[in-house]
Amino acid sequence: MTLKLSEAKRIAEGAVKKAEELNIRISVAVTDTGGRLIAFNKMDGGIWAASYGCQGKAAAASAFGMPTSEIVEKVDPIEIKEVDIANGGHFALGHGGVPIYREGILIGACGVGGGSGGEDEACASAGVASTI
């Protein structure tokens, strides 16, 4: 079971729509289960650093199969570091990364950066909910 490009694009669009409702500018990344980028959007006027943060959040959420806001609380810090090193050191933790499940199977993740932690997570969750 895989996440299709058309679905990834709709997830990114759903996240951007939520950002517009919140009147914020975000970057959003949708990845496969290996944290590899499928779709990416950066809103006009969004900060450049969010382009990297959103991808790191999606990679972390897909690696651990849970929202990034929960990883620090639930996963041993040594395990986080080891998996991050294996991933090339690109994880971003905090709020804004959400795993994508279909029929109980992890198929990818959505990461958002550019707003507050709560805003990022709301946008990522809205994006995922718009498709899956």
Could you tell me the strand order of the sheet in which 105-113 lies? 37-42, 27-31, 105-113, 97-102
> Distance between CA atoms of 98 and 122, rounded to whole angstroms?
10
On the question of pLDDT at 79 being above 80, the answer is yes
> Distance between CA atoms of 117 and 122, rounded to whole angstroms?
9
pTM of this structure: 0.94
pLDDT digits over 11-54, tens only? 999 999 999 999 999 999 999 999 999 999 999 999 999 999 99
Residue 27, domain CATH: 3.30.450.150
Q: Residue 118 is part of which domain span?
A: 5-129
pLDDT at 68: 96
Structural domain count of the chain:
1
On the question of pLDDT at 132 being above 80, the answer is no
